[in-house]
Amino acid sequence: MVPISILDLAPIVRGGDAGDALRRSVDVAQRAEAGGYRRFWMAEHHSIPGVASAAPAVALAHVAAHTRTIRVGAGGVMLPNHAPLVVAEQFGTLAALHPGRVDLGLGRAPGGDPATARALRRDPVAAADAFEDDARELLAYFTPPPGRRAVRAIPGEGLDVPVWILGSSLYGARLAARLGLPYAFASHFAPAQLAPALGIYRAEFRPSARLAAPYAMVAANVFAADDEAEARLLRSSLVQAFVALRRGQPIELPPPDPELRVTEMEAAILQQVLRFTFAGTGPQVRAKLATFAEQTGADEVIVTSQIHDHAARLRSIDLVAPAAWEPASRGQACEA
């Protein structure tokens, strides 16, 4: 099986608060480290009641200080919301404190609705047009110049901070290929263009000083439990939150609902957008992930688990952890 990583949104559960969510993120990262996961990433989202990861650099500093070996990073920073120099300094600071452990994924979405984008002082059209220039500027801050540079990222300059391009469309695939950077696709909520995006990325990839060959990571929602029915029940929290978001009424992550009902139209949308959502026992989910990796040719899989109960979430992480992939089960998974 390819390496497995974790994407965390620091979910704020109904009845909890952001502090609880961020402290639980540390628990998740520590459990991921013990289980052999490759990375622990946090995503930038704004004005969503159920997500506490609005400031990834700050949250990751806390996580990195409470872990020892697992890579930590942003999956991602929404670059048009920030000056490239500020992002280079923030992640340069993290890399200076935690050498060899910090990743930086870049996205171009606002991480919120149009009103939030305006509050972030973001012009959507200009942001889209400037994304490649901003990414190139940020990359330059990490590279020591041959001569004098008027503006420098200190900390940041000369530090080894792998930069990724994130995407849910063909644009990010082409940009990652053009810049010679690793690419992560948000197939956990936008699976429609996964196959063509990966095809374009691999076909158009140009080797760079940062990366010699294409490296693609794909994302999935996972809900693993000791019982298949329990896993499906855990999944209902994500379904409720997703439906509420689609209705324009985002909510805190609700507890599972065994009587959950959605409209026929919502069911069709859920079937499409949550295509890569795997629920079941540990062996079942591991088999599905192995098949997913094999079918996409991914170099790495990153999983996210929007589970209301913290103990159940940690159990799901344990059941899917690389440490759980015994040689026999790896073989079974690859045949599934």
All domains of the chain in start order, with CATH = 4-335 (3.20.20.30)
Chain CA centroid to CA 196, Å: 20
CB 13 within 8 A of CB 21: yes
List the beta bridge partners of residue 42: 8, 74
Helices (H), 120-161: 124-142
> For 111, phi and psi rounded to 5 degrees?
80, 20
- CB within 8 Å of 279: residues ≥ 6 apart: 222, 223, 224, 228, 231, 232, 234, 235, 285
List Cβ neighbours of 99 (8 Å cut-off, separation of 6 or more): 159, 160
3-state secondary structure of 281: coil
Compute the distance between CA of residue 328 and CA of residue 326 in angstroms, rounded to an integer: 5
pTM of the model: 0.93
- The rounded distance, in Å, linking the Cα atoms of 22 and 30 is 13
Instruction: Please calculate the CA angle 177-107-297 and round it to the nearest 5 degrees.
Output: 45
CB 45 within 8 A of CB 85: no
Residue 80 CB neighbours (<10 A): 23
Alpha helices in 66-192 (DSSP H): 84-97, 114-119, 124-142, 170-179
User: Two tokens at 163?
Assistant: 């930069």
pLDDT tens for each residue of the chain, 336 residues long: 899 999 999 999 999 999 999 999 999 999 999 999 999 999 999 999 999 999 999 999 999 999 999 999 999 999 999 999 999 999 999 999 999 999 999 999 877 777 877 787 767 667 778 999 999 999 999 999 888 889 999 999 999 999 999 999 999 999 999 999 999 999 999 999 999 999 999 999 999 999 999 999 999 999 999 999 999 999 999 999 999 988 889 999 999 999 988 899 999 999 999 999 999 999 999 999 999 999 999 999 999 999 999 999 999 999 999 999 865 344 333 322
Angle at which helix 310-320 crosses helix 18-35, to 10 degrees, equals 20
CA atoms of 172 and 103, how far apart (whole Å): 17
Which amino acid is present at 55? Answer: A
Tokens of 234: 């855990």
